[in-house]
């Protein structure tokens, strides 16, 4: 038994296009789903020798972006970072069908590792932008995003790395934060894809991720995978994803029929648990609730190296009369509850930061 070939014919079937539709029509259909799906179809077309000057340049930029992400990963991993989602799945793709990645995601074990990784990446690669999200007033968990200008600002997303202290952030409600992924690479990859369902519907790229993960030659510990999906509160999402996979690869899915049977009762239990939780929930309980998000409005440029007066492996909160600052090793932020910031608060934050002076 072999997995379906990921080619233009496969995508025509997946997108419900006529078998004689042109490669351009297939690429356009993919683009209506997502940029990454479009790029996956472009690379599939290139495998069949369908390429032009513009698409050749897109493929070249994809290779350069992927190589840049590999360098980021090599810098971050010795400091405690672990790749999740795209970069964890990419090794299972064939060399001539690279997995497109608009960004890369890294998870670190704690806040010390977070700032160590952020500092190292800022020092070595000089990002131009930095965004920050803090979960709860005490900052138990953070998401820090570093980004660089795109090679083609009209066609490409800015290269971006997202560094989490929490591997799975849930749905902002009944499904909680889960700081760690399982060690099993198959489970970790599939659960990370399943988690995407909280942000958007599954799409063609997700199904190809499943196909590349669950190839016939790869051993799958079915009871363990079902148990981990239950433990990580993702049985409904994983079951939905696998059912969509079964629609395009029925023979492959039939090989794992036991997994569907194990996931079905776990999904029913999880849906019931969420319904019960929602019936009792009254919303975030206060500023320390991890569902209470604080966003960082950057007040200083992203430093290309260690900053005088800033601890290299910690972020220091500082309260002033009108709000709160977060002083990090590479940039300082005003913490705000939403996207809109009153000009008076912004000016007060700059004044408070200036009054602090160097922090030794």
- For the cut 80, the answer to whether the pLDDT of residue 282 exceeds it is no
pTM (global) more than 0.75: yes
List Cβ<8 Å contacts ≥24 apart for 38-45. 39/100, 40/97, 40/99, 40/100, 40/204, 40/205, 40/208, 41/8, 41/11, 43/96, 43/97, 43/98, 43/100, 44/6, 44/7, 44/8, 44/10, 44/11, 44/97, 45/8
**Residue 70 structure tokens:** 């590999």
CA distance 75 to 50: 36
| Residue pLDDT, tens place only, 254-263 | 999 999 999 9
- For the cut 60, the answer to whether the pLDDT of residue 218 exceeds it is yes
- Domain map (residue ranges) of the chain: 8-115+145-260
Q: With residue 231 as reference, give the H or E element that holds it.
A: helix 222-231
CA angle at 154 for the pair 152 and 160, rounded to the nearest 5° = 60
**Residue 176 structure tokens:** 């909680």
**Residue 157 structure tokens:** 């997303």
Identify which has the larger pLDDT, 219 or 333.
Answer: 333
Q: Mean pLDDT over all residues of the chain? A: 92
Inter-residue contact 142 to 132 (CB < 8 Å): yes
| Residue pLDDT, tens place only, 101-155 | 999 999 999 999 999 999 999 999 999 999 999 987 667 899 999 999 999 999 8
CA distance 289 to 148: 32
| Residue pLDDT, tens place only, 160-169 | 999 999 999 9
Question: What is the predicted pLDDT for the residue at 288?
Answer: 59
**Residue 261 structure tokens:** 């049977």
Provide the 3-class DSSP secondary structure of residue 54: helix
Say which range, 193-197, 203-207, 309-313, has the weakest mean pLDDT.
309-313
Q: Per-residue confidence at 338, pLDDT binned at 50, 70, 90?
A: confident
Question: What is the predicted pLDDT for the residue at 283?
Answer: 66
Nearby residues of 220 by Cβ (< 8 Å), 6 or more positions away: 186, 214, 256, 259
- For the cut 60, the answer to whether the pLDDT of residue 360 exceeds it is no
Question: What is the predicted pLDDT for the residue at 313?
Answer: 87
Q: How far is CA 100 from CA 25, 34, 42, 260, in A?
A: 20, 11, 10, 28
């Amino acid at each position: 038994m072999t997995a379906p070939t990921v080619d233009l014919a496969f995508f025509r079937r997946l997108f419900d296009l006529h078998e004689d539709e042109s490669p351009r029509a297939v690429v356009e259909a993919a683009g209506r789903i997502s940029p990454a799906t479009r790029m996956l179809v472009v690379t599939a077309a290139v495998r069949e020798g369908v390429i032009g000057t513009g698409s050749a340049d897109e493929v070249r930029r994809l290779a350069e972006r992927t190589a840049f992400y590999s360098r980021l990963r090599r810098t971050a991993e010795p400091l405690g970072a672990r790749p999740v989602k795209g970069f964890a799945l990419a090794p299972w793709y064939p060399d001539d069908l690279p997995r497109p990645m608009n960004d890369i995601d890294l998870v670190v074990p704690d806040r010390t590792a977070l700032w160590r990784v952020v500092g190292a990446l800022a020092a070595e690669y000089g990002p131009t932008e930095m965004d920050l999200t803090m979960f709860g007033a005490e900052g138990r968990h953070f998401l820090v995003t570093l980004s660089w200008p795109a090679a083609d600002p009209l066609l490409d997303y800015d290269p971006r790395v997202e560094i989490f202290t929490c591997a799975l952030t849930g749905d902002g409600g009944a499904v909680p934060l889960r700081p760690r992924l399982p060690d099993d690479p198959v489970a970790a990859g599939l659960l990370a894809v399943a988690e995407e369902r909280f942000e958007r519907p599954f799409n063609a790229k997700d199904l190809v991720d499943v196909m590349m993960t669950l190839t016939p030659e790869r051993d799958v510990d079915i009871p363990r995978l079902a148990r981990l999906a239950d433990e990580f509160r993702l049985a409904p999402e994983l079951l939905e994803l696998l059912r969509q996979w079964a629609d395009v690869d029925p023979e492959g899915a039939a090989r794992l029929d036991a997994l569907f049977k194990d996931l079905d009762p776990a999904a029913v239990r999880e849906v019931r648990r969420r319904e019960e939780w929602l019936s009792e929930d009254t919303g975030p309980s206060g500023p320390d609730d991890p569902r209470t998000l604080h966003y960082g409005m950057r007040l200083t440029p992203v430093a290309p190296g260690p900053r005088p007066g800033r601890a290299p492996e910690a972020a220091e909160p500082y309260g002033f009369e009108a709000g709160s600052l977060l002083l990090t090793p590479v940039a300082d932020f005003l913490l705000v509850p939403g996207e809109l910031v009153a000009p008076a608060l912004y000016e007060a934050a700059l004044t408070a930061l200036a009054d602090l002076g160097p922090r030794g």
